[in-house]
Structure formats: C-alpha cells, structure tokens
C-alpha cells in the first residue's frame, strides 16, 4: 500500500485540504467522505488564514506511530482526500486498498510488519545515475 502509513505522524497545511471544507462540488458544500465534526473543526482552524495553518494527519493520536491512521479512515477522518480515498473511493481499483485499510486498522502488528518491509524496500532502491530518470530540485 504505497507509503500512506507514513501519514500516521505529521502535519498538513490547510492549503492542502481546504478544498474538502467548502464548495466541494456542485451538489455538496463539504466533502461527504469527511466526518462532519472534523470538517467543522478544520473549518474553524483554516478560516481567515493564509492556508499555512496546520492540522495533524492523524487526528486521533498525532504524536504516536500506530495504526490509528487506518482506524480514522474507517470513521471518515482522513485529513487528505488522497488518504480518505484509500477507503472511501467508489473507484473499482479501491477494493484492494479498502481491504488493506480494514486489515491494518484491525491489526497493528500487521501494519508494523508491512510498514517495516516497505521501508526496507525503499531503502534498497538504487540511486539514479547518468541520464537515467529525473532529479528534481523542488519535490513539491
């Protein structure tokens, strides 16, 4: 499952998720896959700011590396739409990620084990050399 488990710790600026808080679509003001209480709290946080205010990516246990991030997705409390989409997407390809979100929310042991394996794989990726690939000076 990509690297989304890394979102168990960290923060995001309002500019990255404010599109979910108002004028979401022609029929919905707020993203319907966002818990109403969380949406209200985030609206207060982001109101009148310049988009640089921040919120924890894991609203339940923001300073702990645990599987609460996945439990939050089950409760529609994923801060970023890309995170919530792992569970709430109606796209047919989300069936695999939905099953993993459920598995990781039910078993911190499985999440820790899989996350560790993923980090090892990423650590073994060889750097680009010569003209292979593209090196960015700005990764945003």
Whether residue 92 has pLDDT greater than 80: no
Confidence of residue 4 (pLDDT cuts 50, 70, 90): low
The residue ranges of DSSP E strands in 6-131, in sequence order, are: 11-13, 54-56
List, for residues 23-78, the tens digit of each pLDDT value. 999 899 999 999 999 999 999 999 988 999 999 999 999 999 999 999 999 999 99
Instruction: Give the phi and the psi of residue 67 in degrees, each rounded to 5.
Output: -95, 15
Residues 6 or more apart whose CB falls under 8 angstroms from that of 118 comprise: 3, 5
Taking the whole predicted model, whether its pTM rises above 0.85 is answered as: no
Sequence-distant (6+) residues with CB within 8 A of 52 are: 13, 14, 15
Distance CA 110, CA 105 (A): 9
Q: Which two tokens stand for residue 130?
A: 């010569």
Provide the pLDDT confidence category of residue 14 given band limits of 50, 70 and 90.
very high
> Is the pLDDT reported for residue 2 higher than 50?
no
Closest to 104 (Cα-Cα) out of 120, 121, 86: 86
Output the average pLDDT for the chain. Answer: 89
Instruction: Quickly count: other Cβ atoms within 10 Å of residue 58's Cβ.
Output: 26
């Amino acid at each position: 499952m990509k690297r989304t488990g890394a979102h168990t710790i960290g923060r995001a600026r309002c500019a990255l998720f404010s599109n979910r808080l108002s004028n979401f679509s022609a029929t919905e003001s707020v993203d319907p896959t966002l818990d109403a209480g969380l949406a209200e709290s985030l609206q207060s946080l982001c109101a009148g700011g310049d988009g640089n205010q921040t919120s924890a990516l894991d609203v339940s246990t923001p300073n702990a590396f645990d599987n609460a991030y996945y439990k939050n997705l089950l409760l529609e409390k994923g801060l970023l739409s890309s995170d919530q989409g792992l569970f709430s997407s109606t796209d047919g390809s989300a069936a695999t990620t939905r099953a993993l979100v459920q598995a990781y929310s039910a078993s911190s042991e499985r999440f820790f084990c899989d996350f560790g394996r993923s980090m090892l794989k990423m650590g073994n990726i060889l750097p680009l050399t010569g003209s292979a690939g593209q090196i960015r000076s700005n990764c945003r």
